[in-house]
Structure 1
Amino acid sequence: MALDFHKAATNEYLFGLDDSQYAHIETILIVFKNQSGILIDPYKDTKLTVGNQKAILRIIDDYINTTDLNMDKKKTVDIIEFRALINYFLDKKIDIKILGD
């Protein structure tokens, strides 16, 4: 896996992204880094607070609203699935620890 997502409080595994999925959401993560200063990459560990998760959802929503989603359907599916996962854990107010390889 390129990235593994865990519950920060308990280290419980939540979900993972493989290299292909990571490549598809990389655009979102670059915008997030530019806005927050927080780099999420497959080589280091990162923590996403509830506030960080809200920011990522806003970035994804902006991306969805300004991009032709028919250009790359697999990328679109991966981004929408990632959004759903982040939104689920945000709703539960769970901070996330991201573990790189």
Structure 2
Amino acid sequence: MALDFYQQNNKEPFFALEDKQFQDLAGIFNEFQCRTGLVIDQFSDAKLTIENQATIIKIIDDYIKKADLNKNKLKTVTIIEFRTHLKYSHKKKNDLLLKGD
């Protein structure tokens, strides 16, 4: 497991990213770090506030607009699934806790 996501409101596991999925999202996480100064990595814990989630969703939306989504379909699926998880959590107004290995 590369990174586990928990809902802060109930500490329940929400979803997890495997190593390959994390690598597929590396560009998204790098852009997030550039915009916010916050680091998402596989080895440390972090918190994604509702505002941070909105920032990542925006980064993903921008990526989808300019990327060739047919070039790497598995990466595209990973990015869209990740966006779906964040969108759900954002809508429910749940901060997320990230637990690295």
TM-score strictly above 0.5:
yes
What is the 5 A alignment of 1:11-26? 11-26=11-26
TM-score normalised per structure 1: 0.97
* Percentage of matched positions with identical amino acids: 46
Partner of 1:57: 57
> Structure 1 residue 8: deviation in Å?
1.8
Aligned residues: 101
**Structure 1 partner of 2:2:** 2
- Give the aligned residue type for 2:53: Q
Residues 33-54 of structure 1: per-residue CA shift (max 9 Å, x gap): 0000010000100100000000
Moved over 6 A (4+): none
RMSD: 0.7
Structure 1 stretches lacking a partner, 5+ long: none
TM-score computed with the length of structure 2 as normaliser: 0.97
TM-superposed CA distance for 1:60, in Å, is: 0.1
Which runs of 5 or more residues in structure 2 are unaligned? none
